[in-house]
Amino acid sequence: MKKNLRDHKSSQCHVVINDNEVRFISYTTEVIRMVWENGKRLIECTGTYSPTTRKQIGWFLKEYANDLSYYDMKAIAGQGFQEF
């Protein structure tokens, strides 16, 4: 299911939710993917890209993973899935 961010409906990003995964897409680039496996939350961040995408990452995390920050995503960018 494709959804816009609650507080930023007109921004050029969206969320795709399927079964055990949430994907954050900025424009056409998949930026963050969260997957739940065996009771663990695994997160992958492909990169922080532009200033606009960095702002969108913050919005996404506030809505879908409010225990994490942009700095957490910056630290794991490009490293594959990490457990949080």
Spans of all domains in the chain = 2-83
* Residue range 13-31, pLDDT digits in tens: 999 999 999 999 999 999 9
User: What is the pTM for the complete model shown?
Assistant: 0.92
Model confidence at 11: pLDDT above 90: no
Residue identified by tokens 């609650």 is 6
pLDDT digits (tens, 9 = 90+) for 37-60: 999 999 999 999 999 999 999 999
Strands of 40-45's sheet in order across: 2-3, 13-18, 21-26, 29-37, 40-45, 82-83
